[in-house]
Structure 1
């Protein structure tokens, strides 16, 4: 019985060590407009999909990166235009930035729900 417990404990420790913590960008965020956006892994990236508001169900972004710093594309749901984008997580805040030609940029700060 003791041997069985030791084997079970060893397996539990090995499994726990192999589980990677979720990226800080993953989760639900309140956007500047008050809608809820879900950021979830999709393929090798993180997809941003609006869950509430006028454009609920619309995918508005695709970012790659790690450890709180991400880059990719952001789509304005109203105009349907796609921009070069980035996101930086700092605690419960996500600063999103979209740029045209890396010169004309707009930023928003989203908060974690």
Structure 2
């Protein structure tokens, strides 16, 4: 009896943790056509899963509230790291890398896979 209750509790916790996952987590199609995986809990890392730079970690973000995230983003081609921000809207994620305190930013939109 104890084993059945333990298994049921474990299954419930697994399903509940998936429901509590942050909406930014998952696989995203970048503007360049590569796949990027965003994973973490509280602090999120971005790793390219396909394309020329597959396996490279290109960012680190933390939730800033209201579907907004802040952190750093790295251009995989130049290895330059910028102040980053992201805004989630449905199945779209607007990613921005900025310099000069956010005065100059370059953005692109990724789509959830």
Which interval holds the TM-score relative to the shorter structure?
0.7 to 0.9
Deviations 1:70-110 (A, max 9, x none): 00000000000000001111100000011011111001000
C-alpha RMSD of matched pairs (Å): 2.7
Corresponding residue for residue 49 of structure 1: 47
Aligned residues: 106
Using structure 1 for the length normalisation, give the TM-score: 0.81
Using structure 2 for the length normalisation, give the TM-score: 0.81
Indicate if the aligned counterparts of 1:23 and 1:67 stay in contact, CA closer than 8 A.
no
In our comparison, the structure showing a higher alpha carbon Rg is 1
Distance 2:32 2:74 in 1: 14
Corresponding residue for residue 38 of structure 2: 39
Indicate if the aligned counterparts of 1:49 and 1:60 stay in contact, CA closer than 8 A.
yes
Unaligned runs of 5+ in 1: none
Corresponding residue for residue 111 of structure 1: 111
Q: Which aligned segments of 4 or more residues in structure 1 are displaced greater than 4 angstroms?
A: none
- Give the deviation of 1:21 after TM superposition: 1.0
Distance 1:55 1:67 in 2: 31
Unaligned runs of 5+ in 2: none
- Give the deviation of 1:67 after TM superposition: 4.8
